[in-house]
Structure 1
Amino acid sequence: MKIAVLGTGGGARAHAARLVGLGHEVFVGTRDPEATLARSEPDMMGNVPYGQWLAGHPGITLTSFGDAAAAADELVINGIDGHSAVAALTATAGPLTGRTLIDYAVPYVYRHRSEHPWPTPWGVMPKLDPCDTDSLGEQIQRALPGVKVVKSFVTQEQATVVDPRSVGGGDHTMFVAGDHADAKQRTTGLLESYGWTDVLDLGPLVCARGMEMYAHMHSAIGFGLGQRFGGHFGIKVVR
């Protein structure tokens, strides 16, 4: 299958590499492919320059957001940062129409001013915007009514999403939410190919609010485990 991954950060790289390993043809989208390949310094999370990473991962095609989406058969994975996602995806609305868009972005706002900041091992915790009464997943769906948006992957680090067995032998839970049953089925199928055995359908896309707000709890658990960035752990819904 031809699958598009939008974004070049660590999470998007994890998906692209895993998908190629599963035999898919992967098209990675970025705002400016030439600029992306020209970068020579690690990104803000310490990932090596994309061109260097790409050279070690044959089978991945780097192109623009629009061209990557157009190349996909059905599935597009959104790894664009939450602050920029709606604008970038809206500009790519045409090629995305009719496709399933799996969104794992968190609507973080960095370098904000807070009366009661949350200090972390790497700085002040970003705030969520939107929060409570809306979600990034819903904003994307409203902006792109012709796209089938599914919120998923967002409750785990992406390295764990693509390799669930690396934590507890894979005995933990992944969630999906969306307003299109067929799109959620495609998303669940992809998760099962990654190795997930416990995928819980939360219902309509409004449930993306809970998944996005969980991001702060995810960070708190990681800090409690002594993990500075992200976290190598899973969560399990016990029935």
Structure 2
Amino acid sequence: MKIAILGTGAGARQHAARLSALGHQVVIGTRDPEATLARTEPDMMGTAPFAAFHATHPGLTLASFAEAAEAGELVINGIDGANAVAALAALPATALAGKVLIDYAVPYVYQQPGDAPNPWPTPWGEMPRLDPVDTDSLAEQIQRALPDTKVVKTFVTQEQETVVNPAEFGGGDHTMFLAGDHDEAKAAARELLNAYGWTDIIDLGPLAAARGLEMYAHFHTALGLALGGRFGVKIVR
């Protein structure tokens, strides 16, 4: 299958490498391919420049967001949450119409006023707030912006390196979640998760449940800080 991954960050690279190893044809989308390849400094998360990753994965194609989305039979959104809606809405109408879009972005707001109330200090600085939150979700905003696209929220409750390789914890016996309004999108996400190695997948229902998945990000961070590293989550029922 030809799969488009929109975004070039650390998470997108995990999916690109794993999907390529599984035999899929992967196209990675970015705002400006030339600028992305020319960048020599790490990004805001400390991730090495994309060119270094691309050099070790020469089979991956880098293209513009529009070119990648047009080419993909299935599309994965790894654009940062603050810019995802605008970037996706700016694509040509034909790029995503009728397609499944798997969204794993978290709507973090990294630029906060210096006098923001009740800051949450972390080893890397103040914890970003979420926007939207409570009464809406990024996934729902994307669905409203792209009414002809089948959006499903998943992958968001784990670091992406664990998403693509669940076996590193408990032999893969932990839980992944998904939410969406389209059965076709959920089936596509489930098939991809199965290929990654997930066996315990819980369907949370309509896309509105993405609110809970996105808000879980703060609890996941708290757990990671308490445990001192990555981990898996198992729902016992």
- Give the TM interval when normalised to the shorter protein: over 0.9
Partner of 1:28: 28
1:233 equivalent in alignment to 2:226: no
Q: Which amino acid aligns with 1:91?
A: A
SS state of the match for residue 82, structure 1?
coil
Partner of 2:205: 203
Partner of 1:117: 119
Q: Distance in 2 between matches of 1:55 and 1:195?
A: 27
Structure 2 length as normaliser, TM-score? 0.97
How far is 1:51 from its partner?
1.0
How far is 1:168 from its partner?
1.5
Which range moves more in the overlay, 42-51 or 146-155? Answer: 42-51
Q: Distance in 2 between matches of 1:72 and 1:137?
A: 19
Identical-residue share of aligned pairs (%): 68
How far is 1:103 from its partner?
0.3
Partner of 2:52: 52
Partner of 1:88: 87
How far is 1:46 from its partner?
1.9
Structure 1 length as normaliser, TM-score? 0.96
Q: Distance in 2 between matches of 1:233 and 1:98?
A: 35
Partner of 1:8: 8
Partner of 1:104: 104
Q: Which amino acid aligns with 1:82?
A: G
Q: Distance in 2 between matches of 1:226 and 1:187?
A: 30
Q: Distance in 2 between matches of 1:41 and 1:125?
A: 23
1:19 equivalent in alignment to 2:19: yes
Q: Which amino acid aligns with 1:79?
A: G
Map residues 57-76 of structure 1 onto 2, 5 A cutoff. Answer: 57-73=57-73, 75-76=74-75
How far is 1:222 from its partner?
0.3
How far is 1:115 from its partner?
1.1
Map residues 206-217 of structure 1 onto 2, 5 A cutoff. Answer: 206-217=208-219
How far is 1:58 from its partner?
2.3
Partner of 1:171: 173
Q: Distance in 1 between matches of 2:222 and 2:84?
A: 25
Q: Distance in 1 between matches of 2:55 and 2:215?
A: 36
Give the number of equivalent residue pairs: 234
Partner of 2:154: 152
Q: Which amino acid aligns with 1:233?
A: F
How far is 1:43 from its partner?
1.4
Q: Distance in 1 between matches of 2:117 and 2:169?
A: 37
Q: Distance in 2 between matches of 1:121 and 1:52?
A: 27
Q: Distance in 2 between matches of 1:166 and 1:97?
A: 36
How far is 1:226 from its partner?
2.0
- Residues 46-98 of structure 1 show CA distances to partners (whole Å, capped at 9, x for unaligned) of 2221111101012210000011011112x100000000000000012430111
Q: Distance in 2 between matches of 1:126 and 1:40?
A: 26
SS state of the match for residue 83, structure 1?
coil
Paired residue for 2:221, among 206, 216, 219?
219
Q: Which amino acid aligns with 2:63?
A: T
Consecutive unaligned residues in structure 1, runs of 5 or more: none
Q: Which amino acid aligns with 2:7?
A: G
Q: Distance in 1 between matches of 2:228 and 2:188?
A: 35
How far is 1:167 from its partner?
1.3
SS state of the match for residue 151, structure 1?
strand
Q: Which amino acid aligns with 2:176?
A: M
1:41 equivalent in alignment to 2:41: yes
**Runs of 4+ in structure 1 over 6 Å off:** none
Q: Distance in 2 between matches of 1:225 and 1:174?
A: 20
Superposed CA RMSD: 0.8
